[in-house]
Amino acid sequence: METLVELIALKRDGGHLTESQIARLIRAHGAGELADYQMSALCMAIFFRGMDDAETVALTRAMLGSGDVIDLSDVPGLKVDKHSTGGVGDKVSLCLAPLVAACGVPVPMVSGRGLGHTGGTLDKLEAIPGFKVTLDVPTFRRIVREVGTCMIGQTDRIAPADKRIYALRDVTATVEAIPLIVASILSKKLAEGIDALVLDVKVGRGAFMKSIEDARALATALVRVGTAAGKDVVALLTDMSAPLGRAVGNANETREALEVLKGGGPADLLECTLALGAEMLVIGGVAADLAAARAELRRAIADGRGAATAEKMIAAQGGDPRVVEDTSRLPRAPHTVEVLAESDGFVAGIDALEVGLASVAMGAGRTRADQAVDHAVGIDLEVARGDEVRRGQPLARLAVRDVAAAAETAARVRAAFRIAPERPAEASLVLERITSRS
């Protein structure tokens, strides 16, 4: 039998690792037989040499098998989750999960925290007074069964190998390796006990994948590997060149997501929610096609079922359900700083990356995993791409703790707006749809 070092060398030299070899490497790392520096070497070898689908499926299964798989067999219906690769202002999960659950598809969701310029679902949920994202598995199962959805963080027993390996990737410049991304995402999602998965792969300045070619490669790999692992998987490529919606922060993003459930919210946020939700209803077997699914989602907004489900989920997870009806119960920093336009024209673009970094600088995000976030601060955009503006008109409003300290952040947000003499052409939010049959 080869030594562990020989297996690392095999991948370094472009060789193929078998399922048993990959499982052995993951087990050895978990047991301490394979040191962190050796796993880092393997990750770098994968970064340069890649993995084929069989290897990536094997890696996903090995990481999945390092912990527990939640049994949701007592929950009726096909269980469907959604995963986003992350972006600026992406609060879709907060309105999507209760809305889809209200339409009859159970949504068990294990989410993450923000890191860098991209926000995290858990941080936004924790802006709700009392909301608990750390629950044991029996409670998670009960809430999914009784409410239709539950949103928690990754536990110590959900793909622990992924948690250890991701920490190494983050500090060894191997985060971008597509096989490692695929195995990381799918191992956590499959551990939820889901039957199907809808993916939102963001592309653009505010996304992890900057080019449509890279986003397409990642989405295609996720669909192929997820399908090979026995799940129904669909991916949408969505634009993240500008922030999604108008709010960037935590409490203010939660506020905006709840407005969608009550029939409001920005058009792009509603469109992203409907596009992903329609895929979930079809793949979950409660709608015949995407048009019928969209109609059902709109009905669930209009008749209040989506908002009612959100209230039930929030109450079940210890939060104050009154925030759904009265979003003023969410925290907001005491001071407002306006960012004003310096010229007349049209909003030709809003740099999502710069807005995201500005929100981090305000305290709404984190640059280290152990940092706390300030749920009350945030950026509210007053205009969107294509809007006409006049000099002196507010482009954005910052909710801040200290007005004097916000001057630099305000300048950064102002610089994120590109004002042009002519209105830009309309752009699509959903760029591509990828399935196993694409």
Q: Domain limits at 227? A: 80-155+169-327
Return d(Cα 50, Cα 179) in angstroms, integer: 7
Token pair of 44 as six digits: 């770098």
Domain boundary, last residue among 275, 303, 327 = 327
Catalytic site residue from 188, 189, 202, 385? 188
> In this structure, are 261 and 190 located in the same domain?
yes
**SS3 label, residue 4:** helix
> In terms of domains, do 409 and 267 share one?
no
Annotation says 91 is catalytic: no
Given 66, 84, 93, 184, which residue is catalytic?
A: 184
Which is it for the CA torsion 208, 210, 215, 217, positive or negative?
Answer: negative
Determine whether 83 is an active site residue: yes
| CATH code of the domain in which 118 resides | 3.40.1030.10
Question: Out of 90, 162, 195, 374, which one is annotated catalytic?
Answer: 162
DSSP 87: -
Residue 303: what pLDDT? 98
For the question of residue 79 being annotated catalytic, the response is no
Closest CA to 91 of 232, 214, 266, 223: 266
Beta pairing, strands 196-203 & 232-239:
parallel
Q: Is residue 237 one of the residues assigned to a domain?
A: yes
Q: Please indicate whether residue 188 is annotated as part of the active site.
A: yes
- Which stretches does DSSP call E strand in 355-393? 378-381, 388-389
Identify the CATH number of the domain in which residue 338 sits.
Answer: 3.90.1170.30
Evaluate whether 102 touches 145 at the Cβ level (below 8 Å): no
Annotation marks residue 211 as catalytic: no
Q: Catalytic one among 24, 91, 163, 169? A: 169
How far is the C-alpha of 26 from the C-alpha of 46, rounded, in Å? 14
DSSP state of 333: -
Is the domain of 224 the same as that of 116? yes
Number of domains in the chain: 3
Q: Are residues 248 and 114 in the same domain?
A: yes
Strand 149-153 relative to strand 107-111, pairing: parallel
**Cα distances (Å, whole numbers) of residue 418 to 341, 385, 396, 412:** 10, 9, 13, 12
Long-range contacts of the stretch 133-142 (C-beta < 8 A, 24+)? 133/317, 135/317, 137/68, 137/70, 140/70, 140/108, 141/70, 141/71, 141/72, 141/74, 141/75
Q: What is the pLDDT along the chain (438 residues), one digit of tens a residue?
A: 899 999 999 999 999 999 999 999 999 999 999 999 999 999 999 999 999 999 999 999 999 999 999 999 999 999 999 999 999 999 999 999 999 999 999 999 998 887 677 778 999 999 999 999 999 999 999 999 999 999 999 888 899 999 899 889 978 989 889 999 999 999 999 999 999 999 999 999 999 899 999 999 999 999 999 999 899 999 999 999 999 999 999 999 999 999 999 999 999 999 999 999 999 999 999 999 999 999 999 999 999 999 999 999 999 999 999 999 999 999 999 999 999 999 999 999 999 999 999 999 999 988 777 788 999 999 999 999 999 999 999 999 999 999 998 999 999 999 999 999 999 999 999 999 999 876
Q: Which of 82, 83, 224, 332 is catalytic?
A: 83
Residues 264 and 386 in one domain: no
Within-domain flag for 427:
no
